A and B are shown apart, each in its own frame.
Chain A
């Protein structure tokens, strides 16, 4: 019976995504290819001093991305440091330097790693004027970069790849804001709170007291999901009944996380003039998603491990209204996108179950990945897959009519090296440097044994891939982890963006070569299989050793 309901739930998710995917994908293609500005946009461009009709080279585009993100970090840092004097702060003090640094980077990089417990750290002013704003703009930056890469494939012999300020503005005003408004209202109807009431003290039925929190939660929850951000208004994130009150809001939140990432391949197909190419990318993403979801669900419902066996099933860290399947579906969605929201505590998953969110992130978050970042990550892997296929048959690799020469392959190869390097170096440094190891093992790690290693590995995997979920027992609000994870998030976001935009520039400058009989078709099942294989094998080769030290060791002992 449970399997039956699980399949029904997946079926309705698939149905909703199928219904959304075409219109939303086409709408996004329209947004990013349209020539006309809305009146409100024209006013905005005048205020910020941008000529919306001018285009940028990849270098200029990149400079704008970096300038905008740096300013975002500085403003968010300042807002946190000034919390004590801002209105609606619930009397909470200024946030310390190290934590402000980590949090500012975390939200600007679309990671939303939280080294802090928001319930007792962040007042309303920081939440809405600082964090929620970055939830919008960091998401729009990710989509903009993906669109710039798609233009690289679509254009021929052009020196420019679009205008960052226009892409950013349109992404926010035409896409994220209207959908956030709609879905925030839906979430309120489901019970998500939206007020400025502060804490309401009530006398409980047995005469005790309970301090019920308030806050503008629905407005933040909507964009947290839609922009694959994931930073919770409350410590318990989307398991908190005020963020995710019912099983149906749970499904709504899952749809929100997947809506844009699963529709972007359609946008890509439209923009390169061949929707079959977008469909192939979508098929790769969906295949990985289904396999990963099945694995996590099997592990969690197997009830393996000492705690699950003692209790009768793996319900530690799960909510009754979601049950096991509502939790595994959410966890898979959250870690295969770059959201990182949780509706169950991954730290308490069965050992092999806890490995799955980690693996999902290690895949590079490409199935379907974060808004924008998922598409550009998958397109990089497609470039690698075409290259490997080219090696096998001894032909110059080409993708969508673009020749993949040494420069393109170097950029793609560097891309897939960036995050594993950060993850493995960060984890290794945490245990190899004596002073740091003492701090990590005595202060940061919550669970003893190999599970403690998994907590640190999870943290660096999550930070470098800009996910933001955690094996949340870890105490990350320490000088080492605040700094190291902050740097990991920064490099994990912007090094890939540099490489992607450089690739976009070099592709846009090329002419398109016509397909011949010898060209590898990149829309057929053969290529879909190849791309799934490349994605999985690269991850497996990179991470297998460290996985055996953590979750595999715990799960197989």
Chain B
């Protein structure tokens, strides 16, 4: 059981800055995120795209913003639980018990949901039979590439993941790469490499094709693919891989009894608390009249939510407003030596 003052759900910029604000006022926290790294949408959707509206930062990329926030919270030694999704929530007297997908448990005084538009999950094939094979011969990510040795693999997608895996697996497997158009969104060098391998017969490239159906009993045996003009091809396949990026799903949070409207959680604007005492929501996931989905708004919301958590974490203490320029306590917490 991990005991801490506050559990932050979501390691995007809003969650990270809220952790900073908690640290400044002397509260401890831990952060859970479903992705394998901090940064949220900034890292997953646009790591290289410049952002121009962070106050006092004329231009920075999603990756730079994330790295700077991580640097800013370094003094607080915050524990991250990545690749974890929160599942269960239980009230226990004045505290909350939270359990994650891998069974990690938390005992906390308050919860801050900074979950963006939900947790990132792989996008799946629209074809219904695919569900039946998911996890045994159909995958949306690769954990152990050795299972593909000497097998026939059909890879669907046109981005970097699809291209990189097609190139990599073509060394020891028979690879079919299927994509809905001639153009690819992956980097040009990989696109060229795939085309070369196709010409050398080391990989079969099918463009303007999409999945039509999968056939097989326990495991996949064949896939049918359909050309945009209607032609259907049947190709032998031991495994099918789909790389269509990630989609955001609200997931188990939906069942927590929060007031939810159009995938967002309603909060008050005084401290961004939800309809449930001790549960706060900040950033893209919260809604209130006038809400702007900007990173800067998430920072403001996080600063107020952190202070809202104080009365749950330290009910017998009074929180005084202080500036980091002059507060000895805040400077000590930041590890500043004078």
Do these two chains really belong together in a complex? no
